[in-house]
């Protein structure tokens, strides 16, 4: 599944890039993510817990991050296994930061491959809806870290826990709401 998203951060590129280069700090902004080991040379181990409606998948895995400070771009390759549910995930994420008049535009392109029970949610479109909501939390956390008055205060900022059932329910309702808004907008 391909997921592309663009969001703006009201900070200059240098500040946003510094945060993107600090992988442990950046990971703390991703709901459900936890780094367990920094192996050096851009290699990390960690876990991501994803609550997809009635299914909770806890993926243990590894990631490699490569970045280019000149172009403000990077790539993350990752794979993980949910040992309880048997689901597997592989991902490749590329990101690019560019200056805009109000701060920095971040573009993220992700290619996610799921297998097992978690793959069913990708097929019915819920994963994209849920991803949008998670990215919203990610952006709010980045903004809060960058706005913190001290490095200690920034380190204390973390993404909130994502409530699985309420996220699942709102993800189901969102496409229906959009459908009715489009329907009534035509009249």
pLDDT block averages, 10 residues each, the chain of length 187:
85 94 91 91 90 73 95 94 84 94 93 76 60 77 89 90 50 49 58
What is the widest separation between alpha-carbon atoms in the chain? 59
pTM beyond 0.85, yes or no: no
The 3-state DSSP composition of the chain as helix, strand, coil percent (nearest 5) reads 35, 40, 25
For domain 2-186, give the CATH number.
3.30.530.20
Domain residue ranges in the chain: 2-186
Whether residue 87 contacts residue 59, with contact meaning beta carbons closer than 8 Å, is answered with yes
């Amino acid at each position: 599944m391909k997921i592309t998203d663009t969001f703006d951060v009201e900070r200059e590129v240098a500040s946003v890039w510094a945060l993107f280069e600090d992988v442990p700090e950046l990971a703390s902004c991703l709901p459900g993510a936890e780094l367990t080991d920094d192996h050096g040379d851009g290699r990390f181990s960690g876990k991501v817990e994803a609550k997809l409606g009635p299914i909770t998948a806890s993926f243990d895995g590894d990631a490699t991050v490569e970045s280019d400070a000149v172009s403000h771009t990077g790539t993350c390759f990752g794979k993980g296994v949910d040992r309880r549910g048997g689901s597997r995930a592989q991902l490749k994420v590329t990101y690019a930061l560019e200056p805009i008049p109000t701060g920095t535009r971040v573009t993220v392109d992700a290619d996610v491959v799921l297998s097992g029970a978690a793959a069913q949610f990708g097929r019915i479109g819920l994963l994209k809806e849920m991803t949008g909501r998670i990215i919203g939390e990610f952006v709010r956390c980045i903004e809060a870290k960058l706005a913190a008055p001290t490095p200690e205060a920034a380190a204390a900022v973390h993404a909130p826990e994502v409530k699985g059932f309420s996220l699942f329910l709102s993800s189901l309702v969102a496409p229906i709401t959009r459908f009715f808004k489009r329907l009534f907008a035509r009249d």
